[in-house]
């Protein structure tokens, strides 16, 4: 296949519809559809959100669903997915898709890293792989997501300054190579800002990434061990240097307090596995905080998980019933709480958008933090 991109032409058009302080509501248009922000993007690591199907994505009102390049390139393989017409077609999903570069997963495997790329072993069979910024682009072009991410260096936190420095430098080097190699006009490419919790490093990384002219900007390497108090100043330092006419994506963050704080700083989109990871183990997100639905006190409760929630799970099922399913080992229990958690988070983002449009974001932020802060 051959795709030729026009230099300097953005493949995502972003319009700010309203602002309330630094928080903003926007509309982003890709080659294959438009999405509204602030936005939560559920994660379908291996081609599906765990326990959910594409029919569920529609019912939940998801706009973008993520896929993980690392896992998909190993099984079933990017070429296989390309034969099905790309990730969305493969999954039977009519909405938009985003693939990360797999960098976070690769760096969790203690790989060998040099300026050229990374060498790592498959978690499936131990096979050794070499992955470069160019290969990350080629793989994601085969996967065919509407938005792909550059390969970056994601250091753990805390890390010493020299480790953060190398991550910033290599991320910038790899971003330039990725930009030069990317060629699909129907697929947007986002750069990624690194820098740990250093405000100066975050500012530098943002400036170097923006200078390359990406369709949007991911902010990576946060919520990986640092406190929220450490995260927010670093996030603000990066945002200060990101263009207002490009989407801003805080990667891997999904707890309600961090979501509302980051939107307040001007972030547009988020992803996280937390919603389904908690759901699989019986923890629900609610207006009153986290609720462990397996607790004995809910055995005779006919209330829903969250009386304030309008999702299909809360409309139909009681806490007593869902607790029973967990106690007898019925997998439906994990599915129901996962559905609720994703729906609840998507609704939280929708409420943030309305609050921005109505000029009352600070009040909503205070309400969320009073429970989740």
Q: Please indicate, yes or no, whether residues 367 and 242 belong to a single structural domain of this protein.
A: no
Residues catalogued as catalytic:
100, 271
Residue 2 in any domain: the answer is no
CA distance 327 to 42: 27
- pLDDT confidence of residue 3: 34
> CA Rg, the chain, in Å?
20
At residue 9 the predicted structure's pLDDT band, cuts being 50, 70 and 90, is low
CA distance 160 to 222: 15
CA distance 304 to 314: 5
Give the residue from 341, 345, 339, 343 showing the smallest Cα distance to 368. 345
Q: What token pair was written down for 30?
A: 């890709």
Burial (0-12, 13-18, 19+ Cβ within 10 Å), 26: buried
pLDDT digits (tens, 9 = 90+) for 27-84: 999 999 999 999 999 999 999 999 999 999 999 999 999 999 999 999 999 999 999 9
Q: Please indicate, yes or no, whether residues 218 and 242 belong to a single structural domain of this protein.
A: yes
Residue 241 in any domain: the answer is yes
pLDDT digits (tens, 9 = 90+) for 82-131: 999 999 999 999 999 999 987 777 777 788 999 999 998 888 999 998 99
Q: Please indicate, yes or no, whether residues 307 and 198 belong to a single structural domain of this protein.
A: no
Which is it for strands 33-37 and 23-30: parallel, antiparallel or unpaired?
Answer: antiparallel
pLDDT for 134 beyond 50: yes
Distance of alpha carbon 232 from the chain centroid: 17
Q: Please indicate, yes or no, whether residues 197 and 341 belong to a single structural domain of this protein.
A: no
CA distance 143 to 324: 40
Q: Which helix (H) or strand (E) covers residue 131, if one does?
A: strand 128-131
Domain boundary among 239, 272, 305: 272
At residue 140 the predicted structure's pLDDT band, cuts being 50, 70 and 90, is very high
Distance of alpha carbon 323 from the chain centroid: 29
Q: Please indicate, yes or no, whether residues 241 and 315 belong to a single structural domain of this protein.
A: no
Q: What token pair was written down for 87?
A: 């990730």
Show the domain range for 343: 274-373
Instruction: Answer for the pair 291, 309: CB distance below 8 angstroms, yes or no.
Output: no
Q: Which helix (H) or strand (E) covers residue 313, if one does?
A: helix 312-316
Question: Model's pTM, two decimal places?
Answer: 0.96
Q: What token pair was written down for 266?
A: 């001007």
Q: Please indicate, yes or no, whether residues 163 and 311 belong to a single structural domain of this protein.
A: no
């Amino acid at each position: 296949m051959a795709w030729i991109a026009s230099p300097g032409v953005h493949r995502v058009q972003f319009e700010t519809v309203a602002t309330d302080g630094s928080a903003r509501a926007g509309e982003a248009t890709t080659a294959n559809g438009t999405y509204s922000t602030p936005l939560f993007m559920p994660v379908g690591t291996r081609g599906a959100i765990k326990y959910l199907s594409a029919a569920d994505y529609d019912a939940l009102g998801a706009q973008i669903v993520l896929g993980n390049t690392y896992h998909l390139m190993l099984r079933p393989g990017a070429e296989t997915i390309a034969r099905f017409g790309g990730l969305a077609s493969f999954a039977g999903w009519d909405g938009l898709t985003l693939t990360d570069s797999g960098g976070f997963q690769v760096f969790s495997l203690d790989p060998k890293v040099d300026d050229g790329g990374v060498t790592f072993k498959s978690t499936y069979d131990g096979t050794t792989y070499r992955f470069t910024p160019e290969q990350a682009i080629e793989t994601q072009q085969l996967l065919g997501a509407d938005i792909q991410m550059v390969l970056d260096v994601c250091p753990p936190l805390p890390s010493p300054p020299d480790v953060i420095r190398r991550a910033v430098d290599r991320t910038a080097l790899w971003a330039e190579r990725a930009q030069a190699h990317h060629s699909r006009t129907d697929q947007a490419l986002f750069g990624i800002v690194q820098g740990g919790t250093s405000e100066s490093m975050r500012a530098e990384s943002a400036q170097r990434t923006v200078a390359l002219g990406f369709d949007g900007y991911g902010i990576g390497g946060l919520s990986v061990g640092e406190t929220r108090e450490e995260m927010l100043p670093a996030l603000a330092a990066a945002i200060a240097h990101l263009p207002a006419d490009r989407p801003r994506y805080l990667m891997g963050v999904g707890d309600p307090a961090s979501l509302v704080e980051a939107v307040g700083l001007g972030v547009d989109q988020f992803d996280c596995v937390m919603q389904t990871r908690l759901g699989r183990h019986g923890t629900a997100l609610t207006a009153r905080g986290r609720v462990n639905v397996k607790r004995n006190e809910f055995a005779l409760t006919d209330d829903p998980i969250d009386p304030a929630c309008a999702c299909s799970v809360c409309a139909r099922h009681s806490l007593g019933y869902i607790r029973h399913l967990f106690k007898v080992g019925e997998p439906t229990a994990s599915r129901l709480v996962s559905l609720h958690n994703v729906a609840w988070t998507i609704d939280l983002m929708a409420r943030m958008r309305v609050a921005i449009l109505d000029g009352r974001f600070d009040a909503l932020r205070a309400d969320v933090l009073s429970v989740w802060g």
